[in-house]
Amino acid sequence: SYELTQPPSVSVSPGQTARITCSGDALPKQYAYWYQQKPGQAPLLLIYKDTERPSGIPERFSGSSSGTTVTLTISGVQAEDEADYYCQSADRSGTYLVFGGGTELTVL
């Protein structure tokens, strides 16, 4: 079955830039979505269709795509950004959705 691969953890100091990657063979063909999840809360959509940001999401969250890897970039990381981050996409046919295993972002 199709898989998306994320690093289990990323650490960054406040004010620095955090980059979380997500790799999958079908990413050149299928859009990627990024979610932030804090303990006890539902996932919050940060980025959709690789690079689009929903209204209300701060500009310091951005998405990019290059080949089989998509990247969530958080510029000027704040303590409140400490959370789990998930990428989501679909297989080549668009029939089966899939989530990455999640990345725990630690703000040092």
Partner 1 sequence: QVTLKESGPVVVKPTETLTLTCTVSGFSLSNATMGVSWIRQPPGKALEWLAHIFSNDVKSYSTSLKSRLSVSKDTSKSQVVLTMTNVDSVDTATYYCALFGQGAPHWGQGTLVTVSS
Site for partner 1 in 59-88 (CB under 8 A): 86, 88
- CA distance readout (Å), 79 to 15, 47, 70, 73, 103: 9, 20, 24, 15, 16
CB of 77 to partner 1, least distance (A): 22
**Residue from the set 60, 64, 75, 99 that interacts with partner 1 by CB under 8 A:** 99
CB of 65 to partner 1, least distance (A): 17
CB of 44 to partner 1, least distance (A): 9
